Structure 1
Amino acid sequence: MSAARVLVVEHENGTGPAQVGERLTARGLDLDLCRPWAGDPLPATLDAYDGLLILGGSMGPYDEAEAPWLPEAIGLLRQAVARDLPTLGICLGMELLTVACGGTVGHSEHPEVGLGELTPLLPATRDELFAPLADLDEPVHAVQWHWEETSVPPEGAVPLLTSRRCAHQAYRVGTAVWGVQFHPEVLAGHIATWGTSDDAPLRALGLDPPSVVRRVAREDAHLRGVWGAFAERWGTVVETRRTASVRH
């Protein structure tokens, strides 16, 4: 049997799949990286894929003038939800999923940037991706980098994680479609350039960009372990669903 194939949508240079992509590739999954910002056309359907990974970007989900492919990405997410195809939307990817499913995205009252603590909610204890996080004896941290967020989740979405500043950090639609507002894919080295490019916005929030990166660096081992394992669990979902589909 050939390898499971995942469509990866990258919205902006420097926002690739990073450690999530590394973990999936190490598992043997075939990643088809599509860069519409560089002129790559998005596929019209998901017929050729076993999973969908939608990454982040500095634009918002309604910024079609800046990123004219966003409606197509939303269309792919609607297809994924209709098929219950294993899907992971990260940051902008979650915001696009929210819009695709009828929810609302708005500007964050308190933008989250840098290392942030996440709190698992009760449904997370029964979720195949998030249950191991709910069982951890230590706080769960992740990299945050967003000025927008889901204000009204899609109807029927199952809430999984929250944080002090952002109520909707992760949710599931159906049985295999997840959105996360944080960045499980990045470590300090990945966000170093973000700190430079977003210097003025970070300082407007009262943050020192180099200090933000250093704080993430101190938790790199935690981030690598927790979110690397998370990526592998998602890869297992993709592979398991594909195997079940082939059998039928």
Structure 2
Amino acid sequence: MADLLVLQHQDDAPAGLLGGLLAARFGAGVRTVRVDAEPLPSGDDRPRAVVVLGADASAVDGGSAAWVGTEIAWIRRAAVIGVPVLGVCFGMQVLSAALGGRVHRMPAPQVGWIRTPSIDIQALPSGPWLSWHEDAVLPPPNARVLARDEFCVQAFAAGPHLGVQFHPEVTPAIVDDWIAADGRDLAARVYDPDELRAQTAEHAPAAAQAALRLFSRWLRSV
């Protein structure tokens, strides 16, 4: 089993900025599993930590795809035996569901660059962060909310586990891929693609530094 397991769900949602940090820390000990296309490791395989990335899929009511429920159950078992989990966006929703929280559909998507009103600036820098989601969570029992805004809970911690609703891993290239996947007509109903690209170019350097601090803090617990 790898030291660190990355659960990826689609081609255009890779580990991004986090991938380089994990490679430097764990080297060949990082394994990526495409949950939408291959089975998760058996119960006998125990990584030192797990990262759950974003996805277009939904975890509302157990999941919009068959593999979502399987992944939630797998993360629940990993958490029970003490494997630290970092959940990013959809990954935060999977983590919340696995730990006894709830996932619900928002009245409208939240897409764009935000700053989180963090209650623990050491554990969670204020950003800037890219938000891109239409589901949100009610955190699991005994979780500590690290940030929330008028839309939703933006981050929580539960023991060694950390969930963030935004995307600290994104690069400008990933954002371009997501805009292209939406298509201009669909995107225009939620955000202005040209404005979002300009904001991404403006915020990317500071966001990368904030992401490094967030990821490094979590990895120290691993």
1:157-211 CA-partner distances (Å, limit 9, x unpaired): 1100112322x111111x2011110001002221101011123443112x21122
Distance 1:31 1:46 in 2: 18
Match of 1:153 among 139, 145, 149: 139
2:30 is matched with 31
Amino acid at match of 1:182: F
Matches within 5 A, 1:92-103: 92-103=90-101
Amino acid at match of 1:157: A
Query: What SS does structure 2 have at the residue aligned with 1:218?
Result: helix
Match of 2:200 among 191, 202, 216: 216
Match of 2:182 among 198, 217, 220: 198
1:26-50 CA-partner distances (Å, limit 9, x unpaired): 123521100122x221113273300
Distance 1:42 1:62 in 2: 21
2:72 matches 1:74: yes
The list of structure 1 runs, each at least 4 consecutive aligned residues, that deviate by more than 6 angstroms after superposition, is: none
Residues 27 and 232, structure 1, Cα contact 8 Å, conserved in 2: no
Residues 171 and 179, structure 1, Cα contact 8 Å, conserved in 2: yes
- Of residues 77-86 and 215-224 in structure 1, the stretch that sits farther from structure 2 once superposed is 77-86
Distance 1:140 1:79 in 2: 31
2:150 matches 1:164: yes
Aligned residues: 220
1:7 is matched with 5
Change (3 A) 1:194 1:235: same
Amino acid at match of 2:30: L
**1:100 Cα shift?**
1.5
- Of residues 49-58 and 18-27 in structure 1, the stretch that sits farther from structure 2 once superposed is 18-27
2:106 matches 1:119: no
**1:91 Cα shift?**
0.5
Query: What SS does structure 2 have at the residue aligned with 1:120?
Result: coil
Amino acid at match of 1:161: A
Query: What SS does structure 2 have at the residue aligned with 1:52?
Result: strand
**1:66 Cα shift?**
5.3
Residues 60 and 104, structure 2, Cα contact 8 Å, conserved in 1: no
Change (3 A) 1:62 1:45: farther
Amino acid at match of 1:214: A
Larger Rg: 1
Unaligned runs of 5+ in 2: none
Match of 1:144 among 121, 126, 131: 131
Residues 52 and 88, structure 2, Cα contact 8 Å, conserved in 1: yes
Distance 1:220 1:46 in 2: 40
Residues 188 and 214, structure 1, Cα contact 8 Å, conserved in 2: no
Query: What SS does structure 2 have at the residue aligned with 1:212?
Result: helix
RMSD across aligned positions (CA): 2.1
1:176 is matched with 160
Distance 1:157 1:65 in 2: 22
2:215 is matched with 231
